[in-house]
Amino acid sequence: MMNKRNLLRATALAVSSLLLAGTASAQDFPPKKPVTLVVGFAAGGAADAAARLIAKKLGENIGQTVVVDNKGGAGGNIAHQFVANAAPDGTVLLFGSVGPLTIAPHLMKLTYDPFKDLAAISGGVNFPNVLVVHKAAGAKTLAEFIQLSKKKPGSVEFASTGAGSASHLAGELFNQRAGIDMTHVPYKGGAPALQDLLGERITSYFAAPPTAMPHVESGKLIPLATTGLTRPAYLPNVPTVAESGFPGFEALNWYAFVAPGKTPAPLLDRWNQEIVKVLNDPGVKDALNKHGLTPQPTTRAELTAFMKKESTQWAAIIKERKLTAD
């Protein structure tokens, strides 16, 4: 009898110590090795600018290096796949984006499920796109641009940061609403798309404000319209697509923090606290606003709900426009 009791006690002790060990490792924060923040686009674009700014402050706050790792290609899907397969130990985070998280799953066969293989941490930043054309395009207003597209269907191109990206869907939504047929040209990020636009090799681009603004200010690019419901403070004289004859038109670009799907909840909670703290920091807010980015800190549940809403919305447009990833 005694032996049985001792055995039970020993087993209970062993189980509880294992549980404690598991919890302790899950809450091992900050991580003992440098943290990698993966970004799905080339260096020099909007996502990159925001990620570097946030990573720097995160590193200062937690006392551990946070390295930004650019993994461009496939509209950001390569980076999302990489993080879905990464070790769930809290040392690999992803600055995920609207395309691979809520658009691509409806466009193509992916090897990851954004809601199962990735775990929500917090919203990051959001911003509208701005439709810009080069000086020689022959359009100074949105109405002129539509006329140009209607005159020679298919001759007007629009660049995007990849098939299934927010800039791609913004263009497709505009094709649908304006009854035009622009040709889609995908790139591996904002920087190369902008280079071809400045070189007048493509007509237009639904660009992220941070990448387009310097060239708008220097007069090299002409802004025709923004894709949010209201005019952003930094472009007060540029109309929205919605107010230019297309009520309700909205195509926001957003980035959010996610981790490998099996990352323990206590670690996800700690990262949420740290990221929300950085996004609420007055200095960070100010710097992001100067880049034309609005901080979007959320709880983990709020981010999941937001992603589900976006996923439903873009699925409907993809179906209606009969879009494919090509």
- DSSP class per residue in 36-57: EEEESS-TTSHHHHHHHHHHHH
pLDDT by residue (tens digit) across 301-316? 999 999 998 999 899 8
How would residue 148 be classed by pLDDT, with cut points 50, 70 and 90? very high
More confident residue, 232 or 271: 271
Tokens of 224: 């025709």
pLDDT digits (tens, 9 = 90+) for 40-60: 988 887 778 899 999 999 999
pLDDT the model gives residue 322:
84
Q: What is the pLDDT of residues 221-247, one digit of tens each?
A: 999 999 998 898 788 999 999 999 999
**Mean pLDDT within 67-73:** 93
* Mean pLDDT, residues 8-34 taken together: 60
Region 8-33 average pLDDT: 59
Q: What is the pLDDT of residue 326?
A: 67
* Whether pLDDT at 185 is above 70: yes
Domains of the chain with CATH codes: 29-127+253-321 (3.40.190.150), 128-244 (3.40.190.10)
With 70 as the cut, is the pLDDT of residue 25 above it?
no
Show contacts of 269-277: CB within 8 Å, 24+ apart: 269/300, 270/27, 270/29, 270/90, 271/90, 271/93, 271/121, 271/122, 272/121, 272/122, 272/299, 272/300, 274/58, 274/61, 274/62, 275/54, 275/58, 275/121, 275/122, 275/124, 276/122, 277/61
Distance from the first to the final alpha carbon of the chain = 72
Q: What is the pLDDT of residue 24?
A: 37
pLDDT at 283 over 60: yes
Residue 141: pLDDT over 60: yes
**Mean pLDDT throughout 243-272?**
95
294-301: average pLDDT: 95
Predicted TM-score (pTM) of the model is: 0.77
The rounded percent of the chain whose pLDDT value lies above 90 is: 69
Tokens matching residue 42 = 């080339």
E strand or H helix at 227, and its extent? none
What average pLDDT does range 5-25 have in this prediction? Answer: 50
Q: What is the pLDDT of residue 3?
A: 59
Q: What average pLDDT is seen over the chain?
A: 89
The pLDDT score that the predictor gives to residue 5 is: 57
**pLDDT tens profile 100-111:** 999 999 988 999
